[in-house]
Structures are given as C-alpha cells and as structure tokens.
Amino acid sequence: MESYLKENFEVEPKNPTEEALKKWRSAVWLVKNPRRRFRMVADLAKRAAAEKKRRKIQEKIRIALYVQKAALQFIDAANRTERKLSEEVVQAGYDIEPEDLAYIVRSHNNKTYDFHGGLQGLARKVKVSLRDGVLSGDIPKRQQIFGYNQFVEKPQRPLWMFIWDALQDMTLIILMMCAVISVGVGIATEGWPKGMYDGLGIILCILLVVVVTAVSDYKQSLQFKDLDKEKKNIIIQVTRDGTRKKVSIYDLVVGDIVHLSIGDQVPADGVFIDGYSLSIDESSLSGESEPVNIDKKKPFLLSGTKVQDGSGKMLVTSVGMKTEWGRLMVTLSEGGDDETPLQVKLNGVATIIGKIGLAFAVLTFFMLTSRFVLMKFIRAEMGKWRMNDGLELLNYFAIAVTILVVAVPEGLPLAVTLSLAFAMKKLMNDRALVRHLSACETMGSATCICTDKTGTLTTNHMVVTRLWAAGDTKDIKTKEKLKSAISEKVLTVLLQSVFLNTNSEIIKDDTGKTSIIGSPTETALLEFGLLFQNNYTQEAKNVKIVKVEPFNSVKKKMSVLVALSNGKLRAFCKGASEIILSMCDKIINEDGEVVQMSGKQRKAIADVINGFACEALRTICLAFKDIETGSTSDDSNSNSNSNNDIPESNYTVIAVVGIKDPVRPGVKEAVKTCLDAGIMVRMVTGDNINTAKAIAKECGILTADGLAIDGPAFREKSDEQLKEIIPRLQVMARSLPLDKHKLVTFLRNELKEVVAVTGDGTNDAPALHEADIGLAMGIAGTEVAKENADVVIMDDNFKTIVVVARWGRSVYINIQKFVQFQLTVNVVALMTNFVSACTSGSAPLTAVQLLWVNMIMDTLGALALATEPPHDGLMKRPPIGRDVNFITKVMWRNIIGQSIYQLIVLGILQFNGKRLLNLNGPDSTVVLNTMIFNTFVFCQVFNEINSRDMEKINVINGMFDSWVFMIVMVCTVTFQIIIVELLGTFASTVPLSGNLWLASILMGAVSLPVGVVLKYIPVESSTLSHDGYEPLPRGPDLA
C-alpha cells in the first residue's frame, strides 16, 4: 500500500508541482461525492483561468502605467473639464467626484493631477488637513461617498448549499431510488402503512446523514472564512485628529494620511505627500520587477504595491474596488489553496479501500442473489416470480450499495480538513495565524527552528541602561547624576543625534500623555533623550532634513543629512557599534571638542562595546560629521557634495549606548521543550556576537559543546567546512538575510532537516519562502515577510512557535487515530455481511443500520478523534520522519487485533447466538439481529476510546477534558438506544431486555482489555519507531 501511495499520492508541502497535483487526481478512483470530497482541493482549471485573467489585467495596468502615460502627456490639460458634481457629493461638502479622484492615480497623468491643483488642491477638494488628517467624525460620511476599503468577495455559501452538496453522493442517490421503489412495492404487497417502513427508514437515515454532514462542513467553512479575513487584515499607521494612530486596513478612508516604511504594503491608491528615498515595488500589479522611485514629480502610489526602500506619507485618493488592486484581488482567490500532503495521501488510502469495498459489495450481492435463485430452483419455483421476490432482490441490491457506502471512506480526506480547521482556530486563540494549511502538518516534522533574537526570545521592551560618552562609561540611573557627568557640548550633539536621526515619532494623546510610535530600539533611544529634553521638537525647529537613509538589515545603520541654522550640513549616523566605529576617525573629548582618535582610544571603545555585549546589552554607536562645503540650495552643482550624498567615512564618535532587552518569561522552558522533542534551536541574529552568546546561554540555546559564529566568518566557509560545523552551530551573530537563507538551504538540501525559520524584515522573505515552515512576526514583521510566511506569530513569542509545533504533531497523530478506527469498522462491517451472505443468505446488518454505522465512523468519528487537543507527551517524542509510512505497523497490529476480536464475537452471535442467549419464539431471529447490531455498535464505541492512544495502555487519560469527544460519545450511545428501543419499525430492530443490553455493552467493553493485550505485542521497528517518529538517541548514541 505504502509504495502505491508514494508513487501516486505524494506531493510537496510547499509549492507542489502541477504534475504531482494532476497525477494524484488522475489516480483517484471510485469517488462517491466529488463535490464534497474535493471541496477543499484546488480547482486546477479554475486556477489556470484565474491566472490567465490576472495576467491580462496586469498587462492592461502595465500598458496604462508605462505606455498610455507617455501618450497622455500630449493631451492638453486645458481641454479637460471637471465632471459636474452629483447632489450627493455636494451635500457631503466635497468638491470632486470619486471617479475623477480615482482616475488621477489610475492614469498616472501629471497634467490631470496639476489640473486639480496638485497635492494641496486634492486635499482641499476632499476636505482634509495635510497636517492633522481626517477627523474621526467624518469617517462614516467619507465611506458613504467614496466607498469602503474592502474588495468584492464571494458570499458565504448558505447551509442549504452544503446540504445539496452532501446529497450529491452517488451511492446515497441509488439508495434513495431503491427506498422509493421499496416503498411503492411494499405498499402494493403489504399495504399501508406497513409496506412503507423499510423504504422510509432508509430515506430518513439518509436525511440524517446528509444533515449532520452538511452542518459539520458548514461550520468548517465559517472557520476558514474567519481565518481568511484575519489573514488579509493589515494594521497601518495614519494621522487622524492631529495624532498618529494605528488602524485596520478595512477602516481606511479617502483623505487619510498614511505613513509608509520599508516592507509595508500600500493600502490604497494615493499621492505622495513627503518622504525620503521612497522606492516602490509594483511587480504585484504590473509584473515589472524594476522598482519605481516616488517623489513630488512622480507622486502616484498604487494599492497592493510594496515599499522596497525609504519612508514617506501619502494622501489616500481611492479605496476598495475603485483601485486596480481591488480588481486584481477578485482573481487571486479563484481556484482555491493547494491541498496538503495528508489530504492527498488519505485520498489514496480511500481509493485503495474503495476498490476492495466495491469488490466485496459485488461479491455480497452476487452471493445473496445466487443463493436466492438457487433456493427457487430447488423448490421448483423458477417460473413463479412474485412482487415479494422483486422486493427481496431490491433489498439485496440496497445492502450491496450500503456496503459500498461504508466501504468507501469518503471521510478520510475530509477528516484532515476538519482536524486542520480545528487546529487553526485553536492556534488563532493561542496567537498564531496559519496562512497555509500544510504548515500545520509540516510543523509536526520540524527538526530545527532558526529563530531571531530580538522580540522572539526577548521581550522587545528596550531600555537604555549603560552609556559611554567622552571616554567615560555611565550607568543610567538618575537624570541629574547623568546630566552633571556629561558636558553641555557633548549633550547637545548627543541629543541632536537622538532626535534628528530617527524614523520614530513622539506623539501626545488626548490626555497629554507622551508615547512613541516606532521600532523598540528607536523608542529606547528617544525615551533616553526625553530624560534630558522634554521639548523634543526643539532640535527639529532650527534644522532642515535634507536626506534620510533608513535602517536596513544589510547596512545595519541609519543615516540622516541635516542643514543647520548656520547653513552648514551635518550628517548623523547610528547602528551596529563595530560597523559605525570602523567609519569613525575622530572622537569628542570631555570638553566637547572633536579630536583625532588614537589607536588606544579605538581599542578602548571596542572593549566598551564588547563589555556591554557580554552583559547581554544591545549596543548602538552614535556618530556625526560636519560637512563644511555642503549647501541646501537647489543650485549646488559647484559644490563637492552636489548630490547631498550622506558620507560613509571620517565620522566622529559621540557615544555608545547599551540597551537592555530582557529574555521573555518562559522562553528557557520552551527551548528545553524543543530539545526534549528532538528539535534543535538555532539563534540567527544581527546583534553583536557577545550579546548573542549571552542571550543564547540565558535561554538554554548555547551549550558547552555548541558553536557560535558571526556572519562574515560563516560566509567564508566552504561547503565541506559547513557540513562539519552546522550540526554544532547554535548561534549566528551579525548575520545578513542572505546568511539566514544560505543556512536554511544548506540544512534542508544537504542535511535533510525539516526547517522552521522566523523572520520579520523584507529581506527575510527569501529565507521564509525557502524554509519548510516560514514563521513571520506579527508585531515587528513587515507585510512582505508575512506574505512569504506560512504562519504569522501574532505575539512574536518563541513560546507560541512551540505551541504550533505541538499542534502540528497533534494533527498528524489525530488523523492516524481516526484512520485506525475507521479501517477497523470497515474490515468488520465488510466481513460480517459478506460471510453471513455466503453462509446464511441474509445480511445481519440492514441498509439503515449500515448507514448509522457509516455516520458513527465517518462524521462523528472524525469529530471525536480528529479534534482532540494536544497533550504534553507529544513533545517528549522526536519529530515525525519525512518519508515515514502513514499507516504504521502499530496501527496494523491494532486494526487486525481488534477486527479479529469483533469478528469472533459477531460470528459466534450469528451462528450460535440463539442457543447462547436462549432466544426462542417467532421473533428470535430479529432479536438476534438486533443484538448483533447493538454489539457491533458498542464494539465501535469502545474501540473509539481505544483509538485515543495507539501505544499507551491508559486510553482514559484526558478523555473527560476533550469535550468534543465526550459529546460525540454521549450522542452516539443516546441515539443507539433510540434506534433500538423506539425506531424499530424503520431500523428493523426490536427492544432488547436489560440482560441483552448489558451483554452487548460488556462484549463491546472487552475491546478495552483486548487493546491492552495488543499493546504488549512487540512490533518490529527499523530506524523508525511505532508511530512514524525518528527515535531519539539514547545511551551511547546520545554521547
């Protein structure tokens, strides 16, 4: 079986090939209900059509942006006349129609833009202040006139459509036809109402199955819709009511002032207000990979594009479906997501079992019919055919079709969806947003987690605790003490560096409380600056910002060029201490004078940096440079600094600050949990190597025999050297995003590890995409990082990553439990009816009874077993192997053992039950058949409890904590009592005595001790343990 599954039903968890997707689809055979079974499977034809449509739209946009734009320059703006304003717009107080406003950005036409008065003109027409932004009270009015920032989505399918889908089951349709014929023939032969009971029983049972199935599917679809909405919800920064605040992308309105920085998605169409070095990647819209530089001459920003570099502010001019991105988004959701490896594999299992089931169904029908015809021949009644004979043959056909219903386990692939939906919902509550279904499964196989330090292992709440300035190191304790220890001149240039060289913003809320919006590092520096100078706007009053180079993870520094009040230019630079120090050749002394830096002083500063780092402090170096010949005039061609480039050398060191970022509570325990589970944790950080080592030791990542290396040294290693060092590598410091990508690629391709990697920056996208599981940070992460990730860690906490790993393992084990349970029911139901048909010419389990059994093992069984929450024992096992057999030897042992027990019990009841149970009288046969049915169901109920753990003897542990499991158990038993005691007319049962009920329950309960005995039977194991996990090293192996 496994070789067949590997050959035909094997797909990659991430980015599976079109060929593999087509191959398994063509291999699937005997699907009872394609509409339901393939509901969560990608529609390749639809996807191809959507891709074609998307490319057409992209081409139109490209032509509009790069071709029409040139032609439009020749159109005389004077010939354009403003569209007459509608009454609605006039009453709302606006001076421009929404369509005219949307056209300005869509057409990229500067003349149309100028015709409307440029930036100031548009701001006047949409009634917004470029300084204070939109007033909160105006938002409903703006949404009414200009629309909501939401895209047209497919409406949620109502419950009746899921009922309709469930009714498309071919076998159920055949059974319903048989039931209708049965009702007709029955009434003709046995009269009303007795003749309709058998057929009506089947119809009612089918309706029950359909409703339960549809409700389960409908609830799943609601969960996926909620998760999908959460995936698309982006938090953006806007200026409203004069203050900077965070809002959801769905709440954005025309007139909003949006703040953009590296890695952000442009949330709507708009025009540039101001900014520095703003570069936009428009490839998602136009297909063009070349970034576009945005400035006042090229001010148009399109929704859905990404900020590749720089920062800026924009005025929103159109939202939602009035943007080009809105039109494109409609095509992106067509075709659905790729199916997961487990869904594909279980489609293969269902196909194999379906073929066996079909053979048994045909054989059963053949045996029953042959025996019936043979008996007629013996009685010499071949020439006499009555209506009852036809009804008997129809009943045989219904039994054969019902065997097929039970035998084809449609629920297997759908159980994966149910389990994943349940896991995704629970993970959302645990602050993890799963973007791709397959990540839930793959995380159970993770052997290595490459994690960032800042914000993931640490709290990301940073405070400046140490300062080196003017040759002296100081603790930051009291403001007065610190102020007296630093000269006025040094303090002035230090505060200039803090307040001018920043991307963050200091704001005051309605209560007058000061808060800072920006990265944690910059927040810490600004809070430090505010200790000395409450009037933080003072530094910016007398200077003009000329150029800004925002921080990025490659350069590891941020620079700004400012024009001072005396007309001179001054550059400020801050960043990774050793990098900034290497750019400096001067130092400020105690008197605030700039002097040449000696070799001894350079070594002393390097020692300070290392000293701070060894105390687990993040070190930032601040420097400046005066540019004597600079000029801020537009006509500066004669100047040596004509382009106002920010220099890269000859700076003066101002200070080195040490920033404390404490380790998160519980991280050390979470790392230990990973190590116990066979998952190696590696820290990959841009910080100083000493800081990284100190934090790694505190977290329990860096051990005595572990290796710490910095990025430059890692890059110099050959492949052979990497093979030798990477197994021991636990910390990589001062790494570039390319180092992380190289490490992930090497671990996956050369060492065959299953790698999970965290990332937050735009440059982390390649590593997130390459890894088996990409984990983006929800707070610190950019939109580009989140788009390339499989899971978004909403609280940026390493503990949450461990929770995802637990759920990943839980999903895999839960599906194995369900498969074990369902295959046992399949084997017993098939064999019981087949053997009985061959020997006695009748089937003890009727069509109605088999339909009820099918619901127990399919929808209800999946609900009970596939939704069990994870337990701590899962993280005491090693990871699930990459290429393990899904149905393990332990599972086969349990399936075969339980099947043998149940077949023996049912066989004894079938052939010797009347004597053993002392059944006499005319209704003894129907009582025996009811007893067989009741015992069979209780065997499944107790076997469901048995299946909760495939290896451990104590299967009751935690059962009462799983409320879904308990509800399913109670409902199954309750409804079984109702069927036997009250619905006998429809289900061909009779009420049983108390003794027979007790006997049924006891025979079912013996499944529990049988399960205990089976678990003592040793199973041969190769390199893999019983449940598909690779064994953890023990004894000498561990050494």
Active site residue 452: yes
Identify the sign of the CA torsion 778, 779, 785, 787. positive
Per the CB < 8 A criterion, the answer to whether 529 and 499 are in contact is yes
336 Rama sector, left if φ>0, alpha if ψ -120 to 50, beta otherwise: left
- Residue closest to 650 by CA, chosen among 594, 599, 688, 590: 594
Going by the DSSP 8-state scheme, the letter that residue 704 receives in this structure is: T
CA atoms within 13 A on the CB side of 273: 25
Distant-in-sequence contacts of 772-778, Cβ < 8 A, 24+ apart: 772/13, 772/14, 772/442, 772/445, 772/446, 772/748, 773/439, 773/442, 773/443, 773/446, 775/801, 775/804, 777/452, 777/455, 777/456, 778/431, 778/433
Identify the sign of the CA torsion 705, 710, 711, 716. negative
Round to whole Å and give the CA distance between 960 and 958. 6
Helix %, strand %, coil % of the chain (to 5): 55, 15, 30
Integer CA distances (angstroms), 639 to 202, 573, 793, in order: 93, 22, 50
As given in the structure block, the two tokens for residue 713 are 């040294």
- Residue closest to 757 by CA, chosen among 724, 801, 787: 801
Choosing from 256, 452, 687, 760, the catalytic residue is: 452
Identify the sign of the CA torsion 185, 190, 191, 196. negative
Helix or strand or coil: residue 46?
A: helix
Q: Name the strand (E) or helix (H) holding 258.
A: strand 257-260
Q: State the SS3 of 333-361.
A: CCCCCCCCHHHHHHHHHHHHHHHHHHHHH
CA angle 298, 299, 301 (to 5 degrees): 115
Per the CB < 8 A criterion, the answer to whether 844 and 836 are in contact is yes
Q: In what order do the strands lie in the sheet with 432-434?
A: 432-434, 791-793, 773-777, 755-759, 448-451, 680-684, 729-733, 707-710
What does residue 245 show for φ and ψ, rounded to 5 degrees?
A: -145, 165
As given in the structure block, the two tokens for residue 398 are 């219904």
Contact partners, residue 826, CB within 8 Å, separation at least 6:
353, 357, 406, 407, 409, 857
The owner of tokens 């839930």 is: 440
Helix or strand or coil: residue 88?
A: helix
Per the CB < 8 A criterion, the answer to whether 264 and 307 are in contact is yes
As given in the structure block, the two tokens for residue 211 are 């409703």
Catalytic positions are 452
